[in-house]
Structure 1
Amino acid sequence: MALNLHLLRMFVAVSRVGSFSRAAEAMNLSQPALSKGVRDFELQVGCRLLNRSQKGVVPTSEGLALLKHAEDLFAAERAAEEMLSARRDLNNGSLRIGASTTIATYMLAPYLGAFHQAYPGIDLHLVSANTREIAEQMAAQDIDIGLVEGPIEEGVVIAEKWRTDIMKLIVSEHHDFAADKEPIDPQRLGGEVLILREPGSGSREVVTQALAANNIEPLRFLEIGSTAAIKQAVAAGIGVSIVSTVATRDQVRLGYLRTVELRGLTIERTLWRLKLPERTSRPAARAFEELLEDPQIPQP
């Protein structure tokens, strides 16, 4: 029996995200078409591959066994594509870059601009997600370059230091802290609502670890899924936050936000470049990696 690879891709997509609707969106298909494709594939292989419930979709034991072979198969397919691409020069092709949210939004533009100017024939694709999701995409070889803000669990992906980022407390222009001319006692955060990113965000991990190490417990936490939305909430006086200084420069310059120094507490984080040890980088990826280390690229 020859497996239908198109239907196999449908099964893999649903297994990865645990949802027919999300998988259909990712594959640019209608949900009914995807559901029918998976049912047809189960009929072809002669067994149920997915357990469906109101809580989501998970592979059966047979599905898990097939999923491992499918991922190996598609990894080999990508390797073949990369081999062919490596035989071409840098005049055409594509480069897939994955970056966690702050890096993608506030730091990558100078590098993307320099790369496009040097290699205009290469199509650039930028994926923005949190640290955990970017690491998963690198492990699946869905991206060529991975840049993240927080620590990752050890596994097939390794992390190399890229650069250091400074994080500072931000408050609204009307907050009591905004009037302080000197650094404040970090323990004063105990009376504040601290706004954080979602679980899986590198920013969240760095902030919570720094506060815990200094025995600082805010009044309560508010979770918001993007740095841009966090800045809007802080400016509206909903709470305070600790974010990358590169993400707040415009709002601070315009007076909507104020940065406040914390006495005796500096929060720095390492930004990481992800690697797959056994994967040979394509020429476009190697060229972009060289730009990431170029001191002449203007820093945001």
Structure 2
Amino acid sequence: MPLNLHLLRMFATVVRSGSFSRAAEALHVSQPAISKGVRDFELQLGCRLLDRAPKGVRPTREGQALMRHAEALFATERAAEEEMRSLRSLEQGSLRIGASTTIASYMIADYLGAFHRAHRNVDLHIVSANTREIADLMLGHEIDIALVEGPVSDDELVAAPWRTDVMELIVGPQHRFVTATAPIDAAALADETLIVREPGSGSRAIVLRALQRHGIEPRRTLQIGSTEAIKQAVTAGLGIAIVSAAATHDQIAQQHLKSIAIRGLSIDRQLWQLRIAGRLDAPAAVAFDQLLNAPQPLGAAAAGYSVFERSGSRLA
């Protein structure tokens, strides 16, 4: 028979206070109710828990053994209450953020920094993966915040527009497009090797759909699993790529890459925040959500955070 925790609390209070009357006062019940509760508890367990004497009560051997477990149980209860209270007040806890790789690497540093400065005792865990994987993590309740680059079709998820991202064509410093003095014709892309992300990537889907709408099919494609590796491949002359403009500032400034305008073809993509309909978010997630959707963009970059693809990084 499972232990009756209400009766266990009565018994433990009697042991701690040393009398039925003081236990009744502590629990705000009558002394007869305490006496009956302990007696019923002894009957349920089939043993005597207390030695009763005119000067007070003492636990029996069985009562002492049970009291050790009761103290551990109520200590766990207090710890749970304290943790729930601290989480509600953002005094401690953790926030798990999942983001598509471009967003995680180039777009959320300001938000992470602002949140960390405001709530230094909340640990941040960042997961970087492609759009489909982030959606699956959200569905599995493994992350609290989900930001993705591509559309997601799932009845259990609500997708809300977050930001608009500009995609740009990049080539290496020796590529023939570098000498162009005006935007190139979109048809010229058909003669190139287009470097793309892996299936499941939001940016891959958006780029290929945009090219298809213009009747453009590259001569061949080369698949690489990260934007950083794609930029290195483009620099080395392995092909061209269409990536987020947010990912290329440094390399273009250093002339390792060149951004090329395309006549009649521009690719702007909507970035999305995913939610589970009806889920009650923890206070940390609510606070971070308010930063993400503030009317004015953040200006100060975050210091000292890192992103692990498909694994958590911790900022304490």
**TM-score, normalised to structure 1's length?**
0.71
Within the alignment, does 1:297 sit opposite 2:309 as a pair?
A: no
Residue 135 of structure 1 aligns with an amino acid whose one-letter code is A
Q: CA separation of 1:299/1:162 partners in 2, compared to 1, >3 Å: closer, same or farther?
A: farther
C-alpha contact (below 8 Å) 1:169/1:259 kept by paired residues: yes
How far the C-alpha of 1:149 sits from its partner, in A, is: 0.2
Q: CA separation of 1:119/1:172 partners in 2, compared to 1, >3 Å: closer, same or farther?
A: same
C-alpha contact (below 8 Å) 2:93/2:123 kept by paired residues: yes
- Which runs of 5 or more structure 2 residues have no equivalent in the other structure? 1-79, 302-316
After TM superposition, the structure 1 = structure 2 runs for residues 90-239 of structure 1, keeping only pairs within 5 Å, are 90-239=90-239
In the alignment, the residues of structure 2 paired with residue 85 and residue 269 of structure 1 have an alpha-carbon distance, to the nearest angstrom, of 41
SS at match of 1:123: strand
> Residues 37-66 of structure 1: CA distance to partner in whole angstroms, max 9, x if unpaired?
xxxxxxxxxxxxxxxxxxxxxxxxxxxxxx
Residue 297 of structure 1 aligns with an amino acid whose one-letter code is L
Aligned partner of 2:314 in structure 1 is: none
SS at match of 1:206: helix
Aligned partner of 1:251 in structure 2 is: 251
Residue 124 of structure 1 aligns with an amino acid whose one-letter code is L
After TM superposition, the structure 1 = structure 2 runs for residues 29-108 of structure 1, keeping only pairs within 5 Å, are 84=84, 88-108=88-108
> Residues 87-143 of structure 1: CA distance to partner in whole angstroms, max 9, x if unpaired?
631110100000000000001111100000011010000000000000000011110
- Of 103-112 and 150-159, deviating more is 150-159
Aligned partner of 1:20 in structure 2 is: none
In the alignment, the residues of structure 2 paired with residue 278 and residue 96 of structure 1 have an alpha-carbon distance, to the nearest angstrom, of 19
Q: CA separation of 1:191/1:249 partners in 2, compared to 1, >3 Å: closer, same or farther?
A: same
C-alpha contact (below 8 Å) 1:98/1:134 kept by paired residues: yes
Residue 99 of structure 1 aligns with an amino acid whose one-letter code is A
C-alpha contact (below 8 Å) 2:197/2:224 kept by paired residues: yes
SS at match of 1:212: helix
In the alignment, the residues of structure 2 paired with residue 122 and residue 101 of structure 1 have an alpha-carbon distance, to the nearest angstrom, of 23
How far the C-alpha of 1:154 sits from its partner, in A, is: 2.5
Aligned partner of 2:66 in structure 1 is: none
Aligned partner of 1:49 in structure 2 is: none
C-alpha contact (below 8 Å) 1:85/1:93 kept by paired residues: no
How far the C-alpha of 1:181 sits from its partner, in A, is: 2.0
- Of 147-156 and 123-132, deviating more is 147-156
C-alpha contact (below 8 Å) 1:107/1:299 kept by paired residues: no
In the alignment, the residues of structure 2 paired with residue 112 and residue 202 of structure 1 have an alpha-carbon distance, to the nearest angstrom, of 22
In the alignment, the residues of structure 2 paired with residue 155 and residue 181 of structure 1 have an alpha-carbon distance, to the nearest angstrom, of 48
Residue 113 of structure 2 aligns with an amino acid whose one-letter code is G
> Residues 128-165 of structure 1: CA distance to partner in whole angstroms, max 9, x if unpaired?
00000000000111100000000111221111000000
Once the two structures are aligned, what percentage of the paired residues are identical?
Answer: 54
Q: CA separation of 1:87/1:120 partners in 2, compared to 1, >3 Å: closer, same or farther?
A: closer
SS at match of 1:250: helix
Aligned partner of 2:278 in structure 1 is: 278
In the alignment, the residues of structure 2 paired with residue 220 and residue 239 of structure 1 have an alpha-carbon distance, to the nearest angstrom, of 9
- Stretches of 4+ moved more than 2 A in 1? 83-88
Give the RMSD, CA atoms, in angstroms. 1.8
Residue 203 of structure 1 aligns with an amino acid whose one-letter code is S
In the alignment, the residues of structure 2 paired with residue 252 and residue 286 of structure 1 have an alpha-carbon distance, to the nearest angstrom, of 37
- Which runs of 5 or more structure 1 residues have no equivalent in the other structure? 1-79
C-alpha contact (below 8 Å) 2:86/2:92 kept by paired residues: no
How far the C-alpha of 1:84 sits from its partner, in A, is: 3.4
- Greater C-alpha Rg: 2
How far the C-alpha of 1:86 sits from its partner, in A, is: 7.8
In the alignment, the residues of structure 1 paired with residue 181 and residue 163 of structure 2 have an alpha-carbon distance, to the nearest angstrom, of 30
In the alignment, the residues of structure 2 paired with residue 145 and residue 125 of structure 1 have an alpha-carbon distance, to the nearest angstrom, of 10
Residue 128 of structure 1 aligns with an amino acid whose one-letter code is S
In the alignment, the residues of structure 2 paired with residue 211 and residue 87 of structure 1 have an alpha-carbon distance, to the nearest angstrom, of 47
Residue 90 of structure 2 aligns with an amino acid whose one-letter code is L
